[in-house]
Structure 1
Amino acid sequence: MKTMHLAVAGASGQLGTLVVNELIRQRAIHPGMALTAITRTPGHHAAWQEQGIDVRFGDYDQPQGLAAAFHGVERLLLISTNAIDGTGRRLEQHRHAIAAARLAGVDHIVYTSFLQPEEGKTSLLNDDHLATEALLQESGIGHTILRNAFYQDLLLVVLGTAAMDGQLRTAMGQGHVSCVAREDCAHAAAAALAADYRGNRILDITGPAALDARALAAIAAQVFGKSIEVVALDADSRARHFIAAGMPASMATMLAGIERWLATDAMHLVSDDFTRLTGRQASPVQAFLQAHRRQLLAPTLPPA
């Protein structure tokens, strides 16, 4: 049996860790997989090394060493970085990684993009992904682009105060969002990386339903056991609300901007690409909120 050499770049992040662990489980069932974890902190992953994982140093900001980090890799998962600061750094990081992959002879790149990146929809989240997708097209390397919807983790912020005071304040208007579990994105990335697909494709990785604010409030009310009222705000008021709750101004502005973008209904998309890719059903918002119910209601729940 020919061994397939897979690598996860950005392996130390939350998504990367989930992907590596999923591939370790798959390797136990389906041998014939060589797995490399590429990270800026290889010394933190002795447990992976003990399981036969090749842990290599790699830093998107140090392009001179990336080709060596990718040496011998056939299929590479390129996890988009979190350098979302409007400086162009994230796109430059992705450019370095794609150029190094081409130099190293990587056959296929799986890239974690963002749902519905389109020309004319300028935002910190949209622009770098759109430009990175173009770099992949230009590279000549076979690729799978996973356009992930917002993580369900975002709901911990959106519904945090609603769990306490019964008010879902939002600037998303009548827009919808198909939030997806981070674990589901990891399953999709692992499946795409381990597949034998050789061409170019774009897959939309979404949750099972696109929900507006009223639907989110109804689900939250059921999980929390209390009435949740939707309070519509403009983006500036929403940012001020975040700041008043203790959030840094830069993050508050970004999250309020996301909600303002949701108000355009740009994220009203539900796809079955996840199921076709993984053979699983995407986890619903109800399950996520139930799993985090105690965390969300922590101020009002008695000690366990």
Structure 2
Amino acid sequence: MRRMLLITGASGVVGHRVAHLLAARGTRARLMARDPGKVQAPPGCEVVAGDYADPGSLAAPFRGIDTALIVSGYAREGDRARLHGHAISAAAHAGVRHLVYLSFQGASPSSRFPMARDHALTEGLLAASGVPYTALRDSLYLDAIPHLFDRDGVVRGPAGAGRAAFVSREDVAQTVVAVLLQPPAVSGALDVTGPEALSLYDVAARVSGLVGRPLRYEDETVEAGRLWRATSGAPDWEVETWLGSYLAQAAGELEPVSETVTRLTGRVPLTLERHFTEFPEQLAPLRVGPR
């Protein structure tokens, strides 16, 4: 019998890639997004509207679904887990048999990273829902590295020499597909990381070699980071979220390297160099010198 899959956040990078990987394997999923018009769906996929902030909009997307991917949303601490709870409740009410949740490495109530604390709350909601689940705790994305640097080729933040097991979104998407197609029998959380843990000093040095210009990391105090980030006009909660990502790295929360990608997909996760060889367009902003 054909299993019905739901991909939430289908207009995002990971959701989009998961949908296309499934289609390449002959599996067509139902795709959910707040704005269905933004979804670039594979042929034959059903696209539906659904918004975590509107619980009433979630009943139809989850109806008849066997396994669903819940892609985490973006909101201030506390609100985020509440919104995820709406999706989890809709899934439980619809009789979904397994939930796959995109969590974050180091998810814990005591994490220095506000989003990781919210992910821990969401994992608690999953456990309490009675629906079997797999929380995939991915590390920082290799894809995001170019956006860390300013126009002068400098990345600043209070990460010190802390390391993170940066992972490619491609490896995350491949792992999600593996779990959607063959959900584990036991609920739980799995770290999804790259093959090595890198400091921001390492990242700057290695990306410098790829783009042919000097890049560097400058460690800074929390106070300096907060002051600098506040000048962007970002709300306080976003400033604290940004700081927290660096502090979690400094504290070693993102350092453990897992074998989840290889164990579930048979692939060796991409190194920094291999990732940017496969996705060279991501380095384009760094190939332009200071202005």
| Residues matched between the structures, number | 287
Aligned counterpart, 1:282: 269
AA partner of residue 139 (structure 2): A
* 1:193 is the counterpart of 2:180: yes
Residues 16 and 79, structure 1, Cα contact 8 Å, conserved in 2: yes
1:135-150, aligned counterparts within 5 Å?
A: 135-150=125-140
Asked if 1:127 corresponds to 2:126, the answer is no
Amino acid in structure 2 at the alignment position of 1:115 = Q
Once the two structures are superposed, residues 263-290 of structure 1 have per-residue CA deviations (whole angstroms, 9 ceiling, x without a partner) of 1111111111011111112111223455
Q: 1:92 aligns to what? A: 82
* Deviation, structure 1 residue 225: 3.0
Three-state SS of the structure 2 residue aligned to 1:111 is: strand
The superposition leaves residues 226-263 of structure 1 with CA deviations (integer Å, 9 ceiling, x where unpaired) of 4445432112223444566x574654553233212211
Is 1:60 aligned to residue 47 of structure 2?
Answer: no
Query: Identity, % of aligned pairs?
Result: 30
Which residue is 1:12 aligned to?
A: 11
- Distance in 2, Cα, partners of 1:155 & 1:56: 32
Query: 1:217-256 alignment to 2 at 5 Å?
Result: 217-242=204-229, 248=234, 250=236, 251-256=238-243
Q: Distance in 2 between matches of 1:122 and 1:213?
A: 18
Residue of structure 1 in register with 2:191 after alignment: 204
Deviation at 1:125, TM superposition (A): 1.0
Q: Relative to structure 1, is the Cα distance of residues 153 and 236 closer, same or farther in structure 2, using a 3 angstrom cutoff?
A: farther
Q: Secondary structure at the match of 2:128?
A: helix
User: Which aligned pairs between 1:179-190 and structure 2 lie closer than 5 A?
Assistant: 179-190=166-177
Q: SS of 1:262's equivalent?
A: helix
Q: Distance in 1 between matches of 2:263 and 2:212?
A: 35
Report the alpha carbon displacement of residue 10 of structure 1 after superposing the two structures with TM.
Answer: 1.6
Query: Deviations for 1:30-58, whole angstroms, at most 9, x for unmatched residues?
Result: xxx4521112222444x637x21122221
Alpha-carbon offset, residue 219 of structure 1: 0.8
**Structure 1 residues not aligned, in runs of 5+:** 28-32
SS of the residue corresponding to residue 153 of structure 1 reads helix
Q: Does 1:36 align with 2:30?
A: yes
The structural deviation recorded for 1:180 is 1.1
| Contact in 2 for aligned 1:275/1:281 (Cα 8 Å) | yes
CA RMSD of superposed structures (Å)? 2.4
How far apart are 1:68 and its partner, in Å? 2.3
Asked if structure 1 preserves the Cα contact closer than 8 Å seen for 2:113 and 2:247, the reply is no
Give the TM-score, by structure 1 length.
0.85
TM-score between both structures, scaled by the size of structure 2: 0.89
CA contact (8 A) 1:143 1:198 kept: no
Gaps of 5+ in 2: none
The answer to whether the Cα contact below 8 Å between 1:147 and 1:204 also exists between their aligned partners in 2 is yes
1:48 maps to 2:35: no
Q: Deviations over 1:128-159 (max 9, x none)?
A: 10011111111111111100101123312323
Partners of 2:138 and 2:252 lie apart in 1 by 16
